[in-house]
Amino acid sequence: MSGFGPSPGRSLTSRVSDIEKPDLVFLIETKLRSNEWDVIKKKVKLPNALVVESRSRKGGLVLLSPRELKVEIKSFSIHHIEACISQNLAPPWRFVGFYGHHETRNRRHSWNLMTLLNVLSSLPIIFVGDFNEVLDRSEHVSHRRQRPTWQMENFRQVIKDCGIFDVE
């Protein structure tokens, strides 16, 4: 897996094209409309796309994949895209591209969604994205106010309850 953040002077198309033969590309905060993705998905040679449009140029999620990969979208919202993935003879698995609520007061909605998505199927699942939360103070790089301990503990509890582990 690979991630990339803002890159001044480089277009999204060129950054996605740099990834060598990706099976899936999940993007958050795309700030684009569906019709704007038609050109991009052709250029990066990932013709299958689910676009959850941005609202007022804020947010936006995209899941791109090649034709060879069977991607069955199960559900989506402005905070997630859930899909069942299968290819050739490999066993199917679930992908959840996740974008947690920005506002602390709404994080419980993110955690409820994660918990619900986790129990919907017995297939193996991977959560990828920006949860807008940290497991430990050392992960918090903002110069703003420190996160309250209870907030991180709530997130750790959801991770534990869902049987999720952090992959670095």
**Mean pLDDT for all residues in the chain:** 81
At residue 33, does pLDDT exceed 80? no
Residue 84 and residue 60 in one domain: no
Query: How many domains does the chain fold into?
Result: 2
Give domain status of residue 1, yes or no: no
133 and 119 housed in the same domain:
yes
- CA-CA distance, 145 to 113, in Å (whole number)? 26
The CATH number covering residue 144 comes to 3.60.10.10
Which value, in Å, is the radius of gyration of the alpha carbons in the chain?
17
Residue 35 within a domain? yes
Compute the 3-state secondary structure of the chain and give helix, strand, coil in percent, each to the nearest 5.
30, 25, 45
The whole domain housing 24 covers 7-68
Q: Tell how many helices (H) and how many strands (E) occur in the chain.
A: 4, 7
pLDDT tens, residue by residue, 110-151: 999 999 999 999 999 999 998 888 776 666 566 566 777 888
SS3 label, residue 90 = coil
Claim to verify: residue 82 and residue 121 sit in the same structural domain: yes
pTM of the predicted model, to two decimals? 0.81
Residue 95 has pLDDT above 90, yes or no: yes
